[in-house]
A = this chain, B = another copy of it.
């Protein structure tokens, strides 16, 4: 048999057809949803993600943003006069709203000391209760 060259479209190995397992391959880490939360809050600039109280490190932030863009959850753009880069959610990214909301709700109900304070009114509205 011939040795196959790697195809252009990377074949992503799926652990199983379970929607829970597959979703975890997208958001199953300690940082992705924190960044998505910030995107919902309107945070778009690199330095502003860094300013969030969790203290994400620069290499992880860069890697996560790149991945979110690759996967179509966020897009990178710049407003012409300024050449500053910024990120914002795509429609696909916004689909994570209800899930994010469930996560927040569980935390508020089950982890003492958690506060909805980072979830300003616009966020809360965006997440749709």
Question: Looking at chain A's contact residues, is the secondary structure mostly helix, strand, loop, or mixed?
Answer: helix
A88 within 8 Å of B (CB atoms): no
| Bound Cα distance A92, B110 (Å) | 8
Number of A residues contacting the other chain (C-beta, 8 Å)? 48
Q: Known interface pairs A19-B108, A23-B103, A92-B110. Does A30 touch B30 (Cβ–Cβ under 8 Å)? A: no
| Bound Cα distance A85, B25 (Å) | 30
Q: Known interface pairs A19-B108, A103-B99, A106-B95. Does A28 touch B25 (Cβ–Cβ under 8 Å)? A: no
Cβ-defined contact, B115 with A19, below 8 A: yes
Query: What is the oligomeric copy number?
Result: 2
Cβ-defined contact, B99 with A19, below 8 A: no
- Write the A2-17 contact mask toward B (1 if CB under 8 angstroms, else 0): 0000000000001111
CB contact between A23 and one of B23, B28, B111 (< 8 Å): that residue:
B111
